[in-house]
Amino acid sequence: MAKLTAEEIQAAANAGIDTTTEAFTKEYTAKEIEVFRTFLKSKIDAAAKNKVTTMAGFTNTNESTTYKDALKLTPEAAKTLLATAVKDAQYTGAFTDADVKDFVAKFQASANAQMQIVIKDAQSKMTPGATPADLAKTVSSLMTTTYASFFKPTDFAKDYVWSKVNFADDKTLAGKNLATISQVRQLVKDFNILGVSDAEIATAAKEIARGNKSLTDYTADLQKIAIQEHPMLADRLKKDPTLTLKGIAQPVINLLAQTWEVDPATIGLDDPIVSQYLRPGGADGKGATLNYADVKRMALASPKYELTTAANENARDAAVGLARAMGAGF
């Protein structure tokens, strides 16, 4: 046994066929569903040939279907569109009947508004004595040529669902969305930028998750801000569109990590030595510019070095050497 799909029911509704009858909800045998689908297709094709629009000010006494009717969305089809969009956006919320009703209303308003643009264009092309059929033919032609991307239900549904995804609240995110917000935050951190708000990070993450922007694009955006905050590093940043401040500082971070015997990941851009290295000449441009030898010297002078195995061994060796110099028998 089988039933009509949501897409088939929607197609029938678009053609002006009453889909609220039992015929559209009952189950059929394989042969019956085949016959019904063939019958339904003939009805849909016939309706398509007779579409005219009362929205343009024309009436057709032989056919009640209008372009406005052709854009009607049933609740069942709305739920199907939303379900697909939810999967695409990895939205973790749930849509109530009120949400579906709101979606249908906004869908209808947007579709009708765009249809008016097509109709107005078609009317401007009409010659005196044009009939409703002529207008219908022109509208249909425009929708497959000039307005080929006129109105896409799937895109509208995606936009609707994405508007519900809240990147400002990690608890509502999952999958690629959660991974994306983490990547964006880390990227901002890698640039050591102060002029980027949490709201801006959330907006950028949503754009990237939707595919409207790439991490490479956002890196370029952040570089422009970093150049303003770190003008002395402008030349290096401009030469490599993928370079971050973390990338510039990485050799120094590795040197410090090796000297202090710690994981490089534990040393941030806010470390005093790293910060001084990233601001050649200091904040006022009057200080000394650090080289790797300076960094090594400062690392050895840091209290963090005193906690290392090397420092303890050096101290022990120094103590033994001093004791032997004083006549101790080691």
What pLDDT does 311 receive? 66
> What confidence score (pLDDT) does residue 222 get?
95
Please state the φ and ψ torsions of residue 2, each to the nearest 5 degrees: -145, 160
The span from the CA of 147 to the CA of 119, in Å, is: 11
Q: Where are the domains of the chain?
A: 50-162, 170-243, 246-311
Taking the C-alpha atoms of residue 119 and residue 136, their distance in angstroms, rounded to an integer, is 9
pLDDT in tens, 117-154: 888 888 888 888 888 778 888 887 887 788 766 778 88
pTM for the structure as a whole? 0.66
pLDDT number for residue 320? 44
pLDDT for the residue numbered 164: 94
Question: What pLDDT score was predicted for residue 282?
Answer: 60
- pLDDT for position 285: 54
pLDDT of residue 319: 46
**Cα(138)–Cα(115) distance, integer angstroms:** 13
Q: Whole-angstrom Cα distance, residue 34 to residue 36?
A: 6
Question: What pLDDT shows up at residue 117?
Answer: 86
Q: Which positions of the chain have pLDDT values less than 50?
A: 51-70, 315, 318-320, 322-323, 330
d(CA 100, CA 75): 7
Q: Quote the longest CA-to-CA distance of the chain.
A: 123
The DSSP code sequence of 261-307 is: TS-GGG--TTSHHHHHHHSTT-TTS-SPPP-HHHHHHHHHHSTTGGG
Going by C-alpha positions, the residue among 63, 62, 54, 73 that lies closest to residue 11 is 73
The beta strands (E) that lie in the chain are given as none
